[in-house]
């Protein structure tokens, strides 16, 4: 992860890094697992799109098998991996599951991000 717009998150820092940050900039959260094939497929696509947005959106990577991170997956009723959730102003705006194309993710962000509508 070479981008400053991409970071790891866990149960302990989720509120600070995702919820609080989402009040000023949209945050996508990638709920993923290292044993998940679609998670591996979508990872470079998410990284590319976050870099292309150049700081107008952040990507938080939450590895569900680490520590107690599965509690967050339960809290947000994640049923499969990967699940990508868009947070703005401290709340979940929308989500999608499974590996998706660059154009799908771009349209998803444009459609659901209130904070990016005027950019």
Active site residues: 36, 39
* Length of the chain (residues): 119
**Gap between the Cα atoms of 99 and 117, Å rounded:** 24
From the DSSP assignment, how many helices (H) and strands (E) are in the chain? 4, 5
Q: Round the CA-based radius of gyration of the chain to a whole number and report it.
A: 13
**Gap between the Cα atoms of 69 and 90, Å rounded:** 19
Structural contact between residues 95 and 62, judged by C-beta atoms closer than 8 angstroms: no
Of 9, 117, 4, 113, give the one whose Cα is nearest residue 55.
Answer: 4
């Amino acid at each position: 992860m070479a981008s400053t717009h991409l970071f790891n998150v866990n149960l302990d820092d989720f509120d600070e890094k995702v919820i609080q940050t989402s009040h000023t900039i949209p945050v996508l959260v990638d709920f993923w697992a290292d044993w998940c094939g679609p998670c591996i497929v979508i990872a470079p696509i998410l990284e590319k799109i976050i870099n292309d947005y150049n700081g107008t959106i952040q990507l938080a990577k939450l590895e569900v098998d680490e520590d107690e991170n599965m509690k967050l997956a339960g809290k947000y009723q994640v049923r499969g991996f990967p699940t990508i959730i868009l947070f703005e102003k401290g709340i979940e705006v929308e989500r999608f599951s499974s590996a998706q194309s660059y154009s799908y993710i771009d349209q998803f962000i444009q459609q659901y991000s209130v904070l990016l509508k005027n950019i």
